[in-house]
């Protein structure tokens, strides 16, 4: 029994490390770039912001273009830096675990992105300090990777999946990492936008009544 338990512990530690790195990276980007660009590094979150009414329509395509360019540049950098050392891992391409079919993977990616998008929209709407915004979104991603990572790789970001996939020529089930995140983020944006409008309307009514 010791060997299986040790293997399980090491696997969890490795997963926790990956989750911490990704969550910490996103939190760092929010701290560094949030003031100027809103830290839009994820096309799915940008879509959620658009649908919720927090992003101007004219900014959506430019954001999307630069996000995809960033993902491709990251994939190219991995290819140049690592060469054939990661050929078996396909440069870290997101992939489904054994026993997880594309429909299940899409639903998991959609659910995870939904939660992440709600977290990001809530942070930008209700959390005042940049540090707290970064902590909320980063910790949300950390937990989501722990929960969903073993099943789908926990992408929640089409640009993140794009670069490694293109430069390793690994395209199996890659539609999961486009359909799922955009579906989840779109739903999150629509729901959050409706709730925000309803809340603002209720506040105006309350103000009128108090007056």
Q: What's the pLDDT at 114?
A: 98
Q: What's the pLDDT at 192?
A: 97
The set of residues, in sequence order, having a beta carbon less than 8 Å from that of 15 and lying 6+ positions away, is 145, 146, 149, 150
CA-nearest of 22, 168, 13, 150 to 85 is 168
d(CA 122, CA 111) in angstroms, rounded, equals 17
Whether residue 91 contacts residue 78, with contact meaning beta carbons closer than 8 Å, is answered with yes
Whether residue 27 contacts residue 138, with contact meaning beta carbons closer than 8 Å, is answered with yes
pLDDT (tens, 9 = 90+) of the chain, 211 residues, equals: 444 343 444 488 999 999 999 999 999 999 999 988 889 999 999 999 999 999 999 999 999 999 999 999 999 999 998 876 655 578 889 999 999 999 999 999 999 999 999 999 999 999 989 999 999 999 999 999 999 999 999 999 999 999 999 999 999 999 999 999 999 999 999 999 999 887 765 556 555 555 5
The set of residues, in sequence order, having a beta carbon less than 8 Å from that of 165 and lying 6+ positions away, is 75, 90, 93, 94, 171, 174
Tokens of 195: 């709730």
Domain ranges of the chain: 26-198
Is residue 129 classed as helix, strand or coil in its secondary structure? coil
CA angle 124-130-131, nearest 5°? 125
Q: What's the pLDDT at 12?
A: 86
Q: What's the pLDDT at 90?
A: 86
- Chain position carrying tokens 């390793």: 168
Which pLDDT tens digit goes with each residue over 186-198?
999 999 999 988 7
d(CA 153, CA 10) in angstroms, rounded, equals 17
d(CA 15, CA 148) in angstroms, rounded, equals 11
Q: What's the pLDDT at 1?
A: 44
Where residue 40 falls (left for φ over 0; alpha for ψ -120 to 50; beta otherwise) is beta
Query: CATH classification of 26-198, choosing from 1.20.910.10, 3.30.1330.60, 1.20.1080.10, 3.40.50.1970?
Result: 1.20.1080.10
d(CA 42, CA 36) in angstroms, rounded, equals 16
Torsions phi, psi for 206 (to 5 deg)? -65, -40
């Amino acid at each position: 029994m010791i060997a299986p338990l040790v293997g399980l512990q090491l696997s969890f530690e490795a997963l926790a490390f990956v989750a911490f790195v990704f969550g910490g990276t996103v939190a760092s980007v929010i701290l560094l770039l949030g003031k100027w660009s809103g830290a839009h590094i994820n096309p799915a979150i940008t879509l959620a912001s658009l649908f919720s009414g927090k992003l101007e329509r004219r900014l959506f395509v430019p954001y999307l273009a630069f996000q995809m360019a960033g993902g491709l540049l990251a994939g190219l950098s991995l290819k140049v830096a690592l060469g054939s050392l990661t050929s078996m891992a396909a440069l870290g391409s997101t992939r489904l675990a054994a026993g997880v079919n594309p429909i299940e993977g899409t639903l998991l990616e959609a659910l995870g992105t939904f939660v992440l998008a709600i977290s990001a929209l809530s942070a930008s709407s209700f959390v005042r300090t940049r540090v707290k915004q970064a902590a909320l979104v980063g910790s949300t991603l950390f937990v989501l990777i722990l929960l969903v990572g073993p099943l789908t790789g926990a992408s929640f970001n089409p640009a993140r999946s794009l670069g490694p996939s293109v430069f390793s020529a690994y395209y199996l089930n890659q539609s999961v990492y486009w359909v799922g995140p955009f579906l989840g983020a779109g739903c999150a944006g629509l729901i959050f936008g409706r709730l925000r409008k309803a809340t603002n309307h209720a506040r105006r009514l309350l103000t009128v009544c108090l007056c």
